[in-house]
Chain A
Amino acid sequence: MSVVTPSNEGARLLSIAGLNAYFGPTQVLHGVTLDIAARRVTAVIGPSGCGKSTFIRCMNRMHELVPGARCEGAVRLDGADIYAPEVDPVALRRRVGMVFQKPNPFPTMSVRENVLAGLRLTGRRLSEPEDAVVERTLRRAALWDEVKDRLAAPGLSLSVGQQQRLCIARALAVEPDVLLMDEPCASLDPIATAHIEDLLSTLKATYTIVMVTHSMQQAARVSDETAFFLNGELIEATHTDALFTAPRDRRTEDYITGKFG
């Protein structure tokens, strides 16, 4: 049983109801029910193996790409269940983007090409010149000033922190509604992490962000809502301040006070 405090501000964009996820016969998520508020940052925290990554991968139907993996339950984006049989997962992923733990710019492409990759890959026609898209997206990812003279350089020539912002820009160029982030700062040093955390506060004005993080401090710094998972169950989800100062569930309290990790 989870304690979920519905968010009052912001329209409900992503609605999860009774989500169970499996790897073959093993169940890794049990009856997760949660509403993700629009244009907020929602952090997903919990100890290793609690199902955080599996949870967000169910949001863009990447979970089912693993052989033998499946899930049941409803995940609604703007009211429509993304697991309905007529839904094309490929089209879904254009509305729900993802940034991964280890930056993965495409090695054979330049910075510029990486930014445009999402559009070129999916064969989208641009209604505006490419340069405008590249500049706008890189500005949104707080990377423009650092790379504007190096757009033709290979994507891999950037520092790791810059590469991650490049991956964020790449995901943003597709204009998703939701951005999923799976421990985006795990491979980064504190300075690069700070850059990305600053970035999140500007991004949330436009995008709905769901971020898995291993660091409670990061969740406390950056997010508006926080969801705490344990052993595949959603234990508690509420405003970040409320969760960290007055957790309702004993297990949440134990986790955030470091009794286990």
Chain B
Amino acid sequence: MIALRPRIERLVEAGLGASAGLSIAATALLVVTMALEVTRFFAEVTPAQVLFDTVWAPLFAAPRYGIWPLLLGTVVTTLLAVAVALPLGLLSAVFLAELASPRTRRWLKPTLEVLAGVPTIAYGFFALTIVTPALQRVLPDLPGLNTLSPGLVMGVMITPLFGSIAEDALVAVPNALREASLALGANRLRTLALVVLPAARPGLRAALALAASRAMGETMIVAIAAGPSATMTAYIAQVGLGDVPAETTAFRTLFVVGAVLFALTLTLNQLARRGR
């Protein structure tokens, strides 16, 4: 009965622990890489140039590093996406959580999830070749590369993400609240609007934050349909394609933009986690 734990057990546990440790290493790599290049960037460029200039032209002979155009482009596309996804996602969440029969739910939910499985390059191509021309018939001044078309398409793409988390938030509202409202004589619509939705608000906010974060980080759709310097992600994708030599300030702009993107999406993700 007296025996020693074989060494194999310890080795296995160490190996598995090392795998878990690699995930920390990945984050460390991410943070260190960006911090390094951003620091080197700011040895050449002052923060004032980034924050107070309004032109982004880092690859020109007389470079300008104002980040606002990129930031604005990202914000515009994100807001557009959210403007589409919020009503569509919320209503489908309401439908699935409150109105649909279990039978309907069983086939509808996976069907909606298919939307999320479409590769983003397909959405981007769709935005460029089908949505933009359609929009141009309504808005003839719309340029071939614009932020409206990818913004709307991104909205469709993130609708299932928002809808799914919103649905979780609605389902989490205890039934007792609904029953109390109905017992007071309110109909389902009023119960929904005045009792269920307010109770689900933290979860809905989290869903929104998460969907916005996803839209903000999306690259391919904007890269194809919006043009190379429309948003932060489009810029990063474009520079990778080009021949900007490494170790230059222009190259380092990649990491500065990346760091801003990381900070923004991290904030949104943290907000989302707080609400769940």
Contact = CB atoms under 8 A, between A and B. Distances in A.
Interface of A: 77, 80, 82, 84, 86-88, 90-92, 95
A24 B4 CA distance: 27
Contacts of B193: none
A9 B2 CA distance: 29
B91 to A, nearest CB: 41
Interface majority SS on B: helix, strand, loop or mixed? loop
Contacts of A90: 3, 5
B5 A87 contact: no
Interface residues of B, number: 5
B5 A86 contact: no
A62 to B, nearest CB: 16
Nearest to A89: B5
Interface centre among B1, B3, B4 (most CB of A within 10 A): B1
A80 B1 contact: yes
B5 A95 contact: no
A80 B2 CA distance: 10
B13 to A, nearest CB: 14
B1 A92 contact: yes
A182 to B, nearest CB: 22
Nearest to A96: B1
A170 B4 CA distance: 25
Contacts of A91: 1-3
Contacts of A82: 1
B267 to A, nearest CB: 34
Nearest to A84: B2
Given A87-B2, A88-B4, A88-B5, 17 more contacts: A77-B1, A80-B1, A80-B2, A82-B1, A84-B2, A86-B2, A87-B1, A88-B1, A88-B2, A88-B3, A90-B3, A90-B5, A91-B1, A91-B2, A91-B3, A92-B1, A95-B1
Contacts of A86: 2
A86 B1 CA distance: 9
A119 B3 CA distance: 17
Task: Pick the 9 closest A-B CB pairs, nearest first.
Answer: A88-B3, A91-B3, A91-B1, A86-B2, A87-B2, A92-B1, A95-B1, A88-B5, A87-B1
19 contacts: A77-B1, A80-B1, A80-B2, A82-B1, A84-B2, A86-B2, A87-B2, A88-B1, A88-B2, A88-B3, A88-B4, A88-B5, A90-B3, A90-B5, A91-B1, A91-B2, A91-B3, A92-B1, A95-B1
Contacts of A77: 1
Nearest to B5: A88
A84 B3 CA distance: 12
A91 B1 CA distance: 6
Contacts of A92: 1
B189 to A, nearest CB: 45
Contacts of A87: 1-2
Interface string B1-21: 111110000000000000000
A90 to B, nearest CB: 7
A75 to B, nearest CB: 12
Nearest to A177: B1
A97 to B, nearest CB: 14
A82, A87, A88, A95 — most chain B CB neighbours (10 Å): A88
Nearest to B4: A88
A160 B5 CA distance: 35
Nearest to A88: B3
B125 to A, nearest CB: 44
Contacts of A95: 1
A86 B3 CA distance: 7
Interface string B65-106: 000000000000000000000000000000000000000000
A77 B3 CA distance: 15
B109 to A, nearest CB: 27
A91 B5 CA distance: 9
A34 to B, nearest CB: 20
A77 B1 CA distance: 10
Interface in B210-246: none
A82 B3 CA distance: 12
B76 to A, nearest CB: 50
A204 B193 CA distance: 67
B9 to A, nearest CB: 9
B3 to A, nearest CB: 4
Contacts of A80: 1-2
Contacts of B5: 88, 90
Nearest to B1: A91
A84 B2 CA distance: 9
